Amino acid sequence: MSEQKVQAKILKWLKSNNYYVFKTVVCNRNGIPDIIGCTPEGRFFAIEVKFGANKASKLQEWNIQEIKQRGGIAFVAYSLDEVKLNIGK
């Protein structure tokens, strides 16, 4: 498996469960999480997807903390199961 395959699996699950979601491809700001969305209940979330031994950069961690401080859900996910635990139904 690869990071792209993990992202695709997460995106497919989110879309099939009525989450508003998109994958960031090119952004005018570095460190933005890979997946941005809104839960069916209206809560903002951001997911930085990693695979294997990869870890979030300091800038990615900073962005995650900024989102959390403002009341959003933000985290690093290595699998769909982690997404389900953090924002799942």
- Between CA 75 and CA 59 the distance in angstroms is 13
Q: Looking at per-residue confidence, does 26 or 72 come out higher? A: 72
**Which residues neighbour 20 within 8 Å (Cβ) at sequence distance 6 or greater?**
37, 38
Give this prediction's pTM: 0.91
Span 29-45, pLDDT tens digits: 778 899 999 999 999 99
For the chain, the structural domain boundaries read: 3-87
Q: Does domain 3-87 have CATH number 3.40.1350.10?
A: yes
Span 16-33, pLDDT tens digits: 999 999 998 766 677 889
Query: Which tokens belong to 44?
Result: 């903002």
